[in-house]
Amino acid sequence: MKISVVTAVYNRRETIADALRSVQAQTYAPVEHVIQDGGSTDGTLEEIAQHLRPELSLESARDGGIYPAINRGIARSTGEIIGLMHSDDFFAHDKVLEKVAHAFRDPRVDGVYGDLDYVSYRNPSRILRHWSSGAYEPGKLSRGWMPPHPTLYLRRAVFESFGAYDPTFRISADYDAILRWLVRGQIRLAYIPDVLVKMRTGGESNKSLERVLCKSREDLRAIRRNEVGGVGTLMLKNALKVSQFVTREGHTG
């Protein structure tokens, strides 16, 4: 059972090596790493070149943003199981994909996810926020629940049957897609109660007030589009983040 890890990247010379090393350190095989670069000019491509392996597939071309790049990477991938590794993120340990593959041994499982740590950009050993997602229940969607997107792995059949990421969303295409897969697709998820990914803070959705407001508008659009609620669901979704903040400075998870 081949696992494809898709990374969309643009000008991330400082962090891309951590993402590459964490994929290459995984004890599970076979794994392919599909890199979709948007035409980086800051040395990202040179950094990737230092980590080339037969299982790494690189394409560099201008794109329409992160979601078109991810969709292109998914289309280029060849694995039965597909997940993402954002260019600022890295796996929490070298057994992550072993755990993912083990969960997929159950043929009834369509998707697998786990927990996530948000870490300091400059000091990734410092945990700023811990996302313990818990097991999925359909009723949770109207209360603002979603699995941590960077930890989510899906069978290829999910994308083929229910589509990938809608590029008309600038920031919240992941939330829209997850709701679509769960509501329309009725996919079955398995939860791994372990931190699978470390995610650096400073993502695109929180760079400015304008981006935060754009994300809220897009989240509400996704909620209504997939018929899981309204403004109340959006408020609950944002409120859930409060419990994720931790003070375990220096704890590596």
For residue 241, name the pLDDT band (cuts at 50, 70, 90). Answer: confident
Q: Tell me: the pLDDT tens digits for 145-189?
A: 999 999 999 999 999 999 999 999 999 999 999 999 999 999 999
Domains of the chain, start order: 3-244 (3.90.550.10)
Percent of the chain predicted with pLDDT > 90? 89
SS (H, E, C) the chain: CCEEEEEEECCCCCCHHHHHHHHHCCCCCCEEEEEEECCCCCCHHHHHHCCCCCCEEEEECCCCCHHHHHHHHHHHCCCCEEEECCCCEEECCCCHHHHHHHHCCCCCCCEEEEEEEEECCCCCCCEEEEECCCCCCHHHHHHCCCCCHHHCEEEHHHHHHHCCCCCCCCCCHHHHHHHHHHHCCCCCEEEEEEEEEEEECCCHHHCCHHHHHHHHHHHHHHHHHCCCCCHHHHHHHHHHHHHHECCCCCCCC
The pLDDT confidence band at residue 211, using thresholds 50, 70 and 90, is: confident
Asked if pLDDT for residue 204 goes beyond 60, the answer is: no
Report pLDDT digits (tens) over 93-126: 999 999 999 999 999 999 999 999 999 999 999 9
Average pLDDT over the chain reads: 93
State yes or no: pLDDT of 250 exceeds 70: no
pLDDT at 246 > cutoff 60: no
Q: Give the mean model confidence (pLDDT) for residues 42-49.
A: 97
Looking at residue 207, its pLDDT comes to 60
Give residue 242's pLDDT: 78
User: What is the model's pLDDT at position 253?
Assistant: 39
